[in-house]
Amino acid sequence: MLTRDRVAGSALVLLALVTAWETRRLPLGTLHTPGPGYMPMVLAIVLGGLGVLVALRGGKSPLLGSLRWPEAAHAVAILLGCAFAALALERLGYRLTVIALLVFLLGVMERKRPAVVAAVALGISLGSFFLFSGLLKVPLPRSPWGF
C-alpha cells in the first residue's frame, strides 16, 4: 500500500542515492583528512538511512490517495516566482531581482500593504546586497545600469 510516509521515505532514499552518485566524482579523503566529497557522502548515507526508516515504519500513515493540497495554486505561483528570479538574476542584477521577487511574493501573493511591501523589499534587497557584496566580498550580479 502506498502511504504518505512510504512515498516520502522512498523519495528521501532516492535523493540520497542521487547525492551519493554525484559525490562519487569528488575525492573522499580519509577520516583525518577529509576531501570535498566526504561530507556530502556522509549526509547522503544518513539521509538514506533515515529514508529507509521512514519508509519501513510508514505503514500506519494515511494513504497517499487521501492527500489533499488546497494550496497547490499558491505553491505553483511561488515556484514560478523563484524560476523568474533564477532567470532574471544575471539580466536584472541581484538588487532589482530581489525587489521584484519580494514585491510579487508579499504584494501579490500575500496582499500586504504597499508601504510594508516597499519597506521590506528595499530593506532586504539593499541590506543583503550590502552584507554579501560589501562586507563579505561575495560578487553578486549587477544590472546593466550598474545597480
Residue 68, pLDDT score:
85
Residue 74 half-sphere exposure toward CB, CA atoms < 13 A: 8
Q: Which residues have CB under 8 Å from 147's CB, separation 6+?
A: 93, 95, 96
Residue 61, pLDDT score:
84
Set of cell numbers at residue 88: 532574471
Q: Which residues have CB under 8 Å from 3's CB, separation 6+?
A: 58, 59, 60, 61, 62, 63, 64
Residue 66, pLDDT score:
83
| Tens of each residue's pLDDT in the chain, 147 residues | 788 899 999 999 999 999 999 998 888 888 888 888 999 999 999 999 999 999 999 878 888 788 788 888 999 999 999 999 999 999 999 999 999 999 999 999 999 999 999 999 999 999 999 999 999 999 999 888 877
Between CA 76 and CA 69 the distance in angstroms is 12
**3-class secondary structure, 3:** strand
Between CA 24 and CA 131 the distance in angstroms is 34
Which H, E and C letters describe 31-79, residue by residue?
A: CCCECCCHHHHHHHHHHHHHHHHHHHCHHHCCEHHHCCCCCHHHHHHHH
